[in-house]
Structure 1
Amino acid sequence: MASHDSITSRVRQQTWKGSIPLEIRLHKSDCRTYDDSDPYLIQFPRLSYLGLLLHKLHAFFSDRLIYPDVSPADAWLEYEDVPLKWHYPLGLLYDLYSGAEPAQPSDPLDGPPPEIEGNDTLPWKLTLHFSEYPVDQLVKLDTENKHLHDIFMNNVKEADYLRNGTGKTVMFLSKEDSTQLWNSVEQHDFALFNPINQKLLNPQGVNLRHMPVKLYLPHAATSGLDTVNETVKEGKQSAPGSLRVVQSLITPSLSSRQPQTIGTALNQIIPTLFPSRRSSLLAHAVLHGAVLPLGASVEELIRATSYLDGWLHIAIIMM
């Protein structure tokens, strides 16, 4: 029988391999022929960031642009009028906005499900712009990925602080390890990523204190959530795709010393949407395209299925 560590390792690698086919077209207002250009097609990792595509997209569409001197940093992507945030992983964006029906795996650690054949949301069709940048909704990137790097590393540090009560694990990484971590993200290279990730998840002599989890709720589902202390509004409530991001301190175990599960955590943080710890009645918690069983251990999910920055980014989808 496979050991728990080997199962965790297998699921982590399966999660790494998850991807989404994209069909990206240039918006007609930026196209010099004012018609559809050939689409840019790519199978892109769920864990990665669309901001890493900027240079490839600019190079592909450069001969079709009305203003050929625009910078790759002027590019932004949208789906059905929703600007897509560069610092959100692709898998989270897809789970939030595509309208795809999430899969329901039989085991919480089965890993990300294969995309369903005949799924009419695939390939995910996105629109590329090089003008009218929505600065009130998107972080403006630069051509050297410095901003994306800084946002990513800040998220890694925040996750580390929650896990350990201190950010020293990240702060004490050597310059070579820090560089290797970011290179692993840019290249989507598991062999580079995993050794550094293991150092972050398993620091010597430190007990796990809290678990880095963010919940992403559509504004339509957030009535009655004003009692939640740690919330961040992402975009104006009237803006397309506006969200409320909810965080709270989640301990590895309950006061009864039972493991913290997705159900107990959601019931604690947003009881109006998850009145039951065992059954989804009003909403689903979706991670990597799959509905999370409420009995799944949060700590096991952190170790096996967290995103590259160490967080569980969970989309809350109304039933």
Structure 2
Amino acid sequence: MDEVKRLVWNGELNVLVSIDPSFLMKGSPREIAVLRIRVPRETYLINYMPFIWKKIKNFLSFDPLNDNEKYFWFEHNKIPISWNYPVGVLFDGLLGRSSTFATTFEDQLKDEITILRIRLVMGDSPPPTIIPITISKTQVEKYWFHQWKQVCFILNGSSKGIMSLSVNESRKFWSSIITRNFHDFIEISSKISTSRPRHIPIIVQIFKASGISRISQPTIRMTGVNPTLKDIEEDVFNTDEGMSANNCIVICQGIEIPWEIVLCDLYFKLRSFDGFLYITLVSIKNNDKALPEL
């Protein structure tokens, strides 16, 4: 299982970040507005903001440290995307939103070089449901730690496991994300987890054939049972959506997962760095068009 976790931890994506022209002074080199980054699936886009600011600081038309009237966020094809989901989850969701999604996920990605294309934009107010990016160095750390408090409560029935970490352990835990230290991450997260969870912390992205999506966070009780993904079908789908295990595929950590897999095993092997198991469900479409680069 540790080898599977390590493979998940080391998974990466090619990300192309375009900078909105309004950020830059007139006459700035065109190439400065495009940044190419190799990003772990298991991180947040916002963790790369210091790198982005450093790359463009000499060409900025404003001072982001002192301009409190502007809000920053990411978009893909002019659609705002949430930085507070792992990069890999965002990528899987954007694939799911694609109108040319093929019958199987593996066929779609075969022999393809995929790039997550995003744009950093700003405005006088953030889009609804989007958490704006601040200059604060602690914004993302506080959010991530809050996620783990939720996970600890869902798994154990209380948040005692994470709240009892020492100051040094808490710092080491967050540092493991920034420095990509797999050993430290496993060491600390093991103190929060339990081999017999009360519930499974799971977040589901659901994409209908129409392209409409929604987020679900079902309560999956594990006491006295050991369900498969197929067993929780009724907890995931709304009866009026016309979607079921028969016409959807399951994506987790960028790979297609069978509905018959035991949920507890899936959680401990493929859960994300914030403690949640992210599942992307995509309505199957029968077409043979090529997948566009994201």
Q: TM-score range with shorter-chain normalisation? A: 0.7 to 0.9
Matches within 5 A, 1:24-63: 24-33=17-26, 36-38=30-32, 39-63=34-58
Picking from 291, 306, 310, the partner of 2:271 is 306
Aligned to 1:193: 185
The letter of the residue matching 2:57 is: S
CA deviation string 1:156-198 (max 9, x = no partner): 1111111111111111111111111111122222122110111
The structural deviation recorded for 1:9 is 0.7
Amino acid at match of 2:233: L
Aligned mates of 1:288, 1:36 — CA distance in 2:
34
Q: In structure 2, the residue corresponding to 1:23 is in which secondary structure?
A: strand
CA–CA distance in structure 2, aligned partners of residues 271 and 75 of structure 1: 34
- Using a 3 Å threshold, how does the CA distance of structure 1 residues 13 and 129 change in structure 2: closer, same or farther? same
Shift of 1:25: 1.6
Q: What are the Cα deviations for residues 79-136 of structure 1, in whole angstroms up to 9, with x where unaligned?
A: 101222121110111011144767459xxxxxxxxx74333xx222211224445253
Partner of 1:290: 255
Q: Indicate the residue corresponding to 1:71 in structure 2.
A: 65
Q: Which residue of 2 aligns with 1:169?
A: 161
Q: d(CA) in 1 for partners of 2:142 and 2:41?
A: 20
> What residue in structure 2 maps to residue 87 of structure 1?
84
Q: Distance in 1 between matches of 2:47 and 2:65?
A: 14
Asked whether the 8 Å contact 1:216–1:245 carries over to 2, the reply is: yes
Q: Kindly provide the amino acid, as one letter, of the partner of residue 216 in structure 2.
A: V
Cα distance in 1 between the residues matched to 2:177 and 2:267 = 18
CA contact (8 A) 2:243 2:283 kept: no
- Map of 1:139 onto structure 2: 131
Of the structure 1 ranges 181-190 and 124-133, higher mean CA displacement relative to structure 2 is found in 124-133
Question: Is 1:151 matched up with 2:143?
Answer: yes
- Name the CA distance, whole Å, in 2 between partners of 1:212 and 1:164: 11
Letter in 2 for 1:261: T
Q: TM-score of the superposition, structure 2-length normalised? A: 0.82
1:180-226 deviations in Å (ceiling 9; x for gaps) = 111112222212211011112237xxx421110111224x579xxxx
Deviations for 1:239-276, whole angstroms, at most 9, x for unmatched residues?
xx9853212221236x7x4x211111224331646876
Distance 1:288 1:65 in 2: 36
Cα shift readout 1:288-315 (whole Å, capped 9, x = no counterpart): 1112211111111111110111111112
Does the aligned pair in 1 maintain the 2:206–2:214 contact within 8 Å? yes
For 2:243 and 2:119, locate their aligned partners in 1 and report how far apart those are by CA, in whole Å. 38
In 2, Cα distance between equivalents of 1:104 and 1:305: 18
User: Mind listing any 5+ residue stretches in structure 1 that lack a counterpart?
Assistant: 1-7, 106-114, 223-240
Aligned residue type for 1:210: H
Count of paired positions: 273
8 A Cα contact 1:267 1:275, kept in partner: no
- In structure 1, the residue matched to 2:205 is 216
CA RMSD, 1 decimal: 2.9
Of the three residues 3, 8, 26, the one matched with 1:15 is: 8
> In 1, distance between residues paired with 2:188 and 2:276?
15
Conserved in 2, the CA contact under 8 Å of 1:141 and 1:148?
A: no
Work out which of the residue numbers 196, 208, 215 in structure 2 matches 1:245.
Answer: 215
Distance 1:271 1:265 in 2: 12
Structure 1 position 66, deviation (Å): 2.7
8 Å CA contact 1:30, 1:131 repeated in 2: no
Helix, strand or coil for the counterpart of 1:158? helix
Structure 1 residues 302 and 143: CA distance shift in structure 2, 3 A: same
Task: Note the residue ranges of structure 2 that are not aligned, 5 or more in a row.
Answer: 285-294
Q: Deviation per CA, 1:16-56: give whole Å up to 9, x if none.
A: 01110011121233333478434211110001000101111
